[in-house]
A and B are shown apart, each in its own frame.
Chain A
Amino acid sequence: MAWPNSAGLTAEELGVILLSLRVALVSVICSLPLAILIAYVLARTRFPGKILIDALIHLPLVLPPVVVGFALLVLFGKHGPIGSWLDEWFGIVFAFRWTGAALASAIMGFPLMVRAIRLSIDGVDQRLETAAKTLGGSRAWVFASITLPLALPGIITGVLLSFARGLGEFGATITFVSNIPGETETLPLAIYALTQTPGGDAQALRLSVIAVVLSVMALVTSEWLTARTARAKTDDRR
């Protein structure tokens, strides 16, 4: 058992927290561009099979997380079709690594992120985009200069939801990458392991409090950011 440091945390606890933050952050950062792209396509275009894509993205929301984790294991495992291909060509390994935990939380948080962003893109007046086009803007430039800034509050909400989902991810993670201390043991996994250990209750409680604090901080930050962008957008008195 390591000595508590200045913040009253042991080195192990600190490691768990930093790993959890890293997993959640990496999953959000990597999935954000794709989520924006898909949200835009779903909000602004019509094509056959759109409902299928929509359903596929929402699948992690309705499936048991363990099923998602198992599917990841089959597809992205060392011998899975995608996993072996990625390992061979890019040297990227997901199985039993923290990157696998990030992948699992990215997939679980993806529907929440896409939904929030899509809703806010739906709320952007398409006539503003038309006006921007008649002023000489290409489709890509109009998206970057008009649609994206106006959809920012929804993007922030989506990022927060997905981040919070990532911090709390349990079922898919433990199924896909198992619980390896220092590599894949995030906060929920550590709390679960402690509750299964005799005399681990006190430490489980400490970690649970930390989880609550982290979630509240993320929530407050996002509320503050959303309020700030909303104010900047519709500032009536300059």
Chain B
Amino acid sequence: MIDVDLEQQVGSFVLRACFTADAPVVGLFGRSGAGKSTLVNAIAGVTRPSRGHVRVGDVTLFDSAQGIDLSPQERRVGYVFQDPLLFPHLTVEGNLHYGHRLRTEPIRFIEPLHVIDVLGLAALLDRKPGALSGGEKQRVAIGRALLAQPRILLLDEPLASLDVTRRMEILDYIERLRDEFHIPIVYVSHSVAEITRLADTLVVLSAGQCVASGDVDAVMGRLDLKPPAGRYETGAVIEATVTAHDLDFDLTTLGFDGGVLTVPGLNAFVGERVRARIRARDVSLAVQKPTGLSILNVLAGRVTAIREETGPVVDVQIAVGEALLTARITRRSRVQLGIHVEQELYALVKAVSFDHRSTGYA
């Protein structure tokens, strides 16, 4: 349980952020300049907000009304920065043990061997940070933060300094953390793909304000979030279960309450829960059930909202079972097809529009 309500002014920028979340992974989403790092610094105690409170579980880290302001070392917030910031004069082992040595017995609950095992650091222990790749450095930084016995783990764009292949690797490790150590994680990112893959609860920050928070699926499906999320990334997230693998064509079918999705072959067991992100621009609409089509995913739904704009595009929200999809179509198509709220129609999604970044474990 994390409860944050903070006000802070940095130059002309004003942060007024307020959210509560109770989830294994809270995604803190916003474009650069939205105030993500300011908020995270305030939670970690690196900077002091002018007003508000930060509570993690039943511990108050900061409360201006009660005059509580724990120092960073007392907060036990496992802060992983954008840059790994490993201590260059210490070996990997020295880095990992830095915080562990400073925490005495009663609050130790995470053991070095466990962390080294989960993050795959055994082979790196006597190397210096200078001899590590970017991904390895970030894993050591995460391990170091974990071994300082944190109440909560703050990951501030941990993939920012990595190339694309390393990003996938670190995401896998973060998923393992979530399952192995029962520490709430706040994952800060400007990437919809990362957030939807990891987070259960999503907080959207824009111009220093929390503009939305709640369940990932609900928030991602909301139409009014378009500006902070950016035009390109608008979309929906569907939680589904792997129902079958088609090995001949290397496809996987996912079942959810609105129907069946066919996606490129996933590395997951039948019965596993996964998330699939469907970008609004990948969804087409048809008023009648189409035939003779290469598109594999045809989902029957009902229009719940239309976000009308004066420009060439409109966003149409469709309820498919319990899930909400967003389709981005031209305004002309909407007018010509006469699409209106409450209309029954079909949403078409090409299977190939699901790339490896848009599906992941739930």
Contact = CB atoms under 8 A, between A and B. Distances in A.
Interface in B1-57: 44-46
A235 B130 contact: yes
Contacts of B85: 125, 127-128, 131
B99 interface: yes
Interface in B66-95: 71-73, 75-79, 81, 83, 85, 87-89, 91
Contacts of B130: 234-236
Contact of B98 (A132, A149, A233): A132
B238 interface: no
A236 to B, nearest CB: 5
B131 A131 contact: no
B237 to A, nearest CB: 32
A237 interface: yes
B89 A133 contact: no
Interface in A113-146: 125, 127-128, 130-138, 141, 145-146
B214 to A, nearest CB: 29
Interface centre among A131, A133, A145 (most CB of B within 10 A): A131
A187 B44 CA distance: 57
A238 B128 contact: yes
Contact of A133 (B72, B78, B103): B72
A132 B99 CA distance: 8
Contact of B102 (A128, A135, A150, A232): A135
A232 B73 contact: no
A235 B91 CA distance: 10
B275 interface: no
Given A132-B98, A236-B128, A238-B128, A137 B88 contact: no
A146 B127 contact: no
A148 to B, nearest CB: 10
B145 interface: yes
A135 B127 contact: no
B148 A237 contact: no
Contacts of A127: 81, 83, 85
Interface in B90-120: 91, 98-99, 102-103
Given A135-B102, A137-B102, A238 B89 contact: no
A237 B126 CA distance: 11
Determine the main DSSP class of A at the interface with B. helix
B161 to A, nearest CB: 13
B87 A128 contact: yes
A131 B102 contact: no
Contacts of A135: 73, 98-99, 102, 144-145, 148
Contacts of A128: 85, 87
Given A131-B79, A235-B130, A138 B73 contact: yes
Contacts of A234: 88, 128, 130
Given A141-B102, A234-B130, A134 B89 contact: no
Contact of B73 (A136, A149, A236): A136
Contacts of B99: 135-137
Contact of A238 (B83, B103, B131): B131
A141 B72 CA distance: 14
A169 B145 CA distance: 50
Interface in A136-189: 136-138, 141, 145-146, 149-150
A134 B77 contact: yes
Contact of A136 (B46, B89, B126, B148): B148
Interface in B207-240: none
Contacts of B145: 134-135
A133 B81 contact: no
B10 to A, nearest CB: 16
A141 B128 CA distance: 21
A66 B95 CA distance: 50
Interface centre among B72, B76, B79, B144 (most CB of A within 10 A): B72
A131 B145 CA distance: 9
Contacts of A150: 88-89
A127 B71 CA distance: 16
A130 B40 CA distance: 13
A33 B81 CA distance: 33
Contact of B44 (A134, A141, A149, A232): A134
A235 to B, nearest CB: 5
Contact of A146 (B75, B83, B87): B87
B131 A133 contact: no
Nearest to A234: B130
Nearest to A133: B72
A134 B148 contact: yes
A134 B102 contact: no
A237 B91 CA distance: 12
Contact of B46 (A130, A232, A236): A130
Nearest to B99: A135
Nearest to B132: A236
Interface string A85-119: 00000000000000000000000000000000000
Given A127-B83, A145-B98, A237-B131, 6 more contacts: A134-B45, A134-B78, A146-B87, A150-B88, A150-B89, A238-B126
Interface of A: 125, 127-128, 130-138, 141, 145-146, 149-150, 232-238
7 contacts: A130-B72, A134-B75, A136-B73, A136-B103, A150-B89, A236-B130, A238-B128
7 nearest CB pairs, A to B: A135-B99, A136-B102, A133-B72, A135-B148, A134-B79, A131-B85, A236-B130
